[in-house]
Structure 1
Amino acid sequence: RIPGFYSKLGLAKQDRHLQHTQELAVGPESSTWIFLLRAFEVLEQDFEKFDKSGDGYIDYVELTMGIPLVDAHMRLHILARLEYKFKLVDQDKTNSADFYEFIYLGFLMTQDGSYHDLVEESEGHDIVKKAFIELLSWYSQSDSHKRQRLTIADVQQFCLRHFRMIPANIEEIFEEFSYTSSHVPGQKVIDFVRFMKVLTMIIVPDSRFHPKRYKPVKKALDPNKMMIKAHGG
């Protein structure tokens, strides 16, 4: 008899059984649902760390406070990436980001770096980065028209594939965020950011960032908190 062998074997069987059970689980019990719930919880916590005033927005200067304290060259590199990606996110040019823009910014930062570059003190770097990687893959797989937009049928297929069910209110949720796009003529669609909102309403219905409750008022642009831009000689 090998000491501890059978106990380890038993634990391994339990782990496989748990994994198999989660793979067959439906809705909130499914592994993907649980995984995304944990990722959203981390994102909410990280956003609230920046949002000291509690007004539901983070300005650019506040965001730079989360950058890791690394050597000057690396910090400038991260700042350059952050400024470029922040401009992509800040569509209304108010120099601030709401929760969903923050999620999108985090997603963009992980495309050529890591979530840690945006939020050094996050307690869930790994799960958030993994979630962004998986979500991009799942989003692309669900995009039946290959136009970087999802139709209601695409979203329903996503739910079936990953949650093994279609939420009863999915059409209502989709309708709230969908729009008409020339990318997919004749059908309403959602982009990646709206997809995040749809998932929030499905997975975290009690969140303070639920789109029906989260209605922050955009800040007036503060000239004292404008981005510091480098000017050539």
Structure 2
Amino acid sequence: MTTALSGKEAVGERFLLETMRHAQQLTWKAVDAIAEAINPGMLESEAQALGKQILVELDMDRIWHPLLIRFGANTLKTFKQRSDGDPLLAKDDIFFIDMGVVWQGHEGDAGATYTTGSDPEMIACAAAAKELFDRVEGFWRQGVSGVELYRFASDQAEAMGWVLNLNIKGHRVSDFPHAIHRGGDLGDFDQAPNAGVWILEIQIAHPTRPFGAFYEDLLI
């Protein structure tokens, strides 16, 4: 099935909603495989190199945005910010994976946060990012605008006791490359976002400790 979209939701001639869903599934398979391979005692750079190797082994078409793996305090960094140093993953720690990969000519983009050990606040933070994503995704299904989505996300994060990073507000995807369509941020989109062409991103910070959590997935 193809979808006729235009303007900030424009797609290419090859676009298929079913293939976007397939790319989503393969991207999550890759995220899970990389997460399972990351262990305490590993440097952030080592995890990054391992992640790239796993993507090659999974026969991706290509990477469309750099693979990001953030440890500890670097989980507060946005996509465009460099990590501080090359931290070692501790026995009680937190990390996230963020990847953008092309499968069958379509862009997958997914990210999630994981913990090592038993730090209760780190575990709660990772879980909260996913819970907040689920709440906002449910609100999207009511047909609201992208602007309303992130207003709702901010209110919900505050009610949950976390700080939402509003410098991260979601973005377009499609058949590769989506960038030619200049879709902008989901959080600035003043219409109801259609399925299969937008990534909802959630990044939160602990209110007092130096770490955060990230979760993103395709709205479909």
Q: Is the pair's TM-score, using the shorter chain for normalization, greater than 0.5?
A: no
Question: Which has a greater percent of strand?
Answer: 2
Question: Which has a greater percent of helix?
Answer: 1
Normalised by the size of structure 2, how large is the TM-score? 0.33
Normalised by the size of structure 1, how large is the TM-score? 0.31
